[in-house]
Structure 1
Amino acid sequence: MNTTLHDTLLEEALRLFQTKGIADLSIEQIMSALDVSAPTFREMFRGKEDLVMQTMQHDIARQRREHTQLFEQVPTPVGRLLSLLEFGIRDLRKVKAPQYFSDLIQHHPQAWAMGLQHLDDYSYPQIQGLLNDGVVQKQFRGDINIALVSKIIIEMISLVLNEKIFPANRYDVAEVFRSVYLYYVRGLCTEEGIKAAAAYFSRM
């Protein structure tokens, strides 16, 4: 298998799904949009469901690589947490199809479950560690319940993506994400933390 072609197809497929949605695209339309022949497609993917699953896996791996690079560049816990939120806002702004998340949830529950598992296994302990470091460095308030706040931050993702509360035809999901998280994180900060994160708050 051509790894470079495989990665390129996954990246293009993600952009396609985020632009057009998933459910309404046939395999033929997907292959045409990706400009790939049927034999080549079948060599790499068992079908549409497998493509969606691999796309999710590829994007999760991309996020983890970006986070590793970010942590090498940003030294403070509050800066790291707010940078993660910036990354989240940036990624959500790439989603142009309002039905993208509902398509995942309704039509590709295995891929959606993989994303949720990533939050539990990776994002939750990551946030918990940042909060703990921030409390030690007096950037986050010392009276916060770290485990509970970490859980709230993760669960607020479900709130942001809940179509019944924030229908995509009325609300920009990236702006909802920003509004929910920015003020919440600011409330966790000490005065020292707010000063350390001033540049982040001003540009988010």
Structure 2
Amino acid sequence: MTFLETILGEILRIFKQYGIEANSEDEIARMLDIRQSTFRELFANKADMVKQVVEFDIEQQKKEQADIHEKAANPVEEMMLLLTNGIKRMHEINPVMIQEMNQSYPQAWAISMDYLSNHSQHLNAEVLNRGILSGYFRKDINIQLVTKILLEQFHMLINPAVFPPERYNLAEVFRSVYLYYVRGICTETGGKLAEEYFSKNNL
């Protein structure tokens, strides 16, 4: 990692834990033990810092997705791994960070939403298409519609207003939402793989 990437990774960790506004730029610089002058050279202002952190986080996510692609034995497992990875990442974030970015950092928020709406849907579409060609997903599914449904189900699953974590077991919700839906778009062969994945991972 470069010096800047290391700094961005540390700021991302701080944001995930405390939110964006909990610490000023000067406080963040002190927490990272770097000079104020160095900090000013890296970031024009707080909005620029947040934007760079979001862009760094997106690149990290893309690397994780590439690793998942290499690791997955088939498109069904790849779809499940992508979903579980996304949910794990969201639960590492203090919800305050998302609220503050939405309210006060429109450029960073737009980059984040564009990534979810475009890159994530495109990635899911690629996996579905490979699964169809491999005989794991049904040929008659509407890929564009299915990717949209998967994304909306993801948003629903991570929304604490819909599934408060103190009332619902996330693993059970995940199983109820995704096992039955993914199995429904699978062929018989793909459906067995989906069930094996859930059984193997105790979901």
Q: Where on the TM-score scale, by shorter chain, does this alignment land: which range?
A: 0.7 to 0.9
- Give the match for residue 98 of structure 1: 95
- Give the match for residue 174 of structure 2: 178
Scaled by the length of structure 1, the TM-score of the pair is 0.83
Q: 2:75 aligns with which of 72, 77, 98?
A: 77
Scaled by the length of structure 2, the TM-score of the pair is 0.84
- Give the match for residue 87 of structure 2: 89
Task: Answer with 29-38 or 9-18: which moved more.
Answer: 29-38
Q: 1:35 aligns with which of 33, 36, 50?
A: 33
Measure the CA separation in 1 of the matches of 2:102 and 2:167.
19
Measure the CA separation in 2 of the matches of 1:181 and 1:24.
35
Q: CA offset at residue 136 of structure 1?
A: 2.4
Q: Which digits, 9 at most, give the CA deviation of each residue in 1:30-84, with x for residues without a partner?
A: 2222222211111111111111110110111111122223222324111111111
- Give the match for residue 59 of structure 1: 57
Q: CA offset at residue 25 of structure 1?
A: 2.2
Q: CA offset at residue 15 of structure 1?
A: 0.8
Amino acid at match of 1:178: F
- Give the match for residue 20 of structure 2: 22
Alignment CA distance shift 1:171-1:105 (3 Å) = farther
Alignment CA distance shift 1:164-1:107 (3 Å) = farther
- Given the alignment of the two structures, is residue 130 of structure 1 paired with residue 124 of structure 2, yes or no? no
Q: Which runs of 5+ in 1 are unaligned?
A: none
Cα RMSD over matched residues? 2.7
- Given the alignment of the two structures, is residue 143 of structure 1 paired with residue 140 of structure 2, yes or no? yes
Amino acid at match of 1:152: I
Q: 1:155 aligns with which of 137, 152, 157?
A: 152
Measure the CA separation in 1 of the matches of 2:160 and 2:45.
28
- Give the match for residue 115 of structure 1: 112
Alignment CA distance shift 1:178-1:104 (3 Å) = farther
- Given the alignment of the two structures, is residue 8 of structure 1 paired with residue 37 of structure 2, yes or no? no
Task: Answer with 60-69 or 181-190: which moved more.
Answer: 181-190
Q: CA offset at residue 132 of structure 1?
A: 1.7
Q: Which runs of 5+ in 2 are unaligned?
A: none
